[in-house]
Amino acid sequence: VIDGDRVVYEVHYEHPPDTVWRAITDSAALARWLMPNDFVPEVGHKFAMDARPNFGNVDATVLVVEPPRLLVCEWTINGTSTIVRMELQPVAGGTRLFLEHRGLPSEHQAEFDGGWDSKLRDDLTLVLQGDAEP
Amino acid sequence: VSGAGAPTVDDAFGVIAHPIRRALLERLAHGEQRVTDLADRVPVSRPAVSQHLRLMLDVGVVTERREGRARYYALRRDRLHDIDRWLAQLDEFWSESLRRLGAHLDATT
C-alpha cells in the first residue's frame, strides 16, 4: 500500500514471532520468499540481493537487529538509498508484521524549520499525484 | 549552503532528494514562475536557485522560457511520474513477497 513517499504493509501470520523472525533473518529462508542474498543478521553487515527482474542488484546494510522484534536495513536501489523496516508484534493466534519501505531520500531536512517538512511533504505528494492547482 | 549537491543527479529521484528543489517544485506546482519569484521563496541565494533550476532543467522535470530578460520555469509533471511508477513497483514487489513469506511459513511448520 502506497502511503505518501513510502510503502507500508501490515500482515498477520498464524505463526509465533520466533518462527517469523527466522524466516526474515535466515539467508536460505529469505531466498525462498524474498530474493537470493548473502544476508547475516548482524548490525553493519553489508549484503547484496538479486532483485531481478524488479530492481536489478540491491546493495544493502543491516542497521538494526532486535530479535524477535525489529529488523531495519538500508537498501540501495539504482543508487537511491531506501530504508526497509520490519517489526514483529505477538498477537493472539500468531504474529503481526509491520513492513515499511521508505522509498525516497529525505536528507538535508534539518536545514529547515520543522513546519517546512510536513508542508513540503504534503505539497510534494500533491505534486506527485497531479492534484495540485494548475 | 552547498549548490546542487555532490552526487550526480540524473533522474526525478535525485531532483527530490534536496529540500531546496522540493521547495522549488512546490512553487512550480502552482504554475509557471520567474526565477526572481522562485528565489524569494527559498532560503538560499539566487545563484544557488539558478544552479538547482539548471539541474532540474537537465533532468527534464522543468522547462525554461525566455521573455526579454526574464526567464520563466514550468513544471513537467510527466517526468515526476517515474516516482509514482517506482513506488507502485515497490508496492507490488512487497505484496507478492509477503504472500510468499506466508506460504513459506505454512510449508515449514
| ipTM of model | 0.72
pLDDT band at A74 (very low <50, low <70, confident <90, very high): very high
A–B CB contacts, 8 A cutoff, strictly below: 107
C-alpha cell at B55: 539541474
The pLDDT value recorded for residue A111 is 31
* Dist CA A107 CA A83 (whole Å): 12
pLDDT of A115 strictly over 50: no
* Dist CA B50 CA B46 (whole Å): 6
Closest Cα in chain A, distance from residue B68 (Å): 24
Grid cell 506466508 is found at B102
pLDDT of B19 strictly over 50: yes
Q: What are phi and psi of B47, to 5 degrees?
A: -60, -40
* B83 compared with B42, residue with greater pLDDT: B42
Q: Cβ of B80 and A13 within 8 Å? A: no
Count Cβ atoms below 10 Å from residue A7 Cβ, excluding itself. 24
Name residues whose C-beta falls within 8 Å of residue A55's C-beta, 6 or more positions apart in sequence.
Answer: A77, A78, B89, B93
* A130 compared with B48, residue with greater pLDDT: B48
Q: What is the pLDDT of residues B73-91, one digit of tens each?
A: 999 888 887 777 778 888 8
Strands (E), A1-134: 2-3, 6-13, 46-50, 57-66, 70-77, 80-91, 94-102
pLDDT band at A86 (very low <50, low <70, confident <90, very high): very high
Grid cell 539558478 is found at B50
Q: Cβ of A13 and B89 within 8 Å? A: no
- Give contacts of B89 with chain A, Cβ < 8 Å: 54-55
Q: Which residue of A has its CA nearest to B17?
A: A105
Q: Cβ of B17 and A107 within 8 Å? A: yes
Task: Return the residue in A30, A73, A104 with the most chain B beta carbons within 10 A, the one to mutate for interface testing.
Answer: A104
Q: Cβ of A128 and B98 within 8 Å? A: no
Nearest CB to A99 within list B94, B102, B105: B94
C-alpha cell at B71: 526567464
* Dist CA A96 CA B96 (whole Å): 17
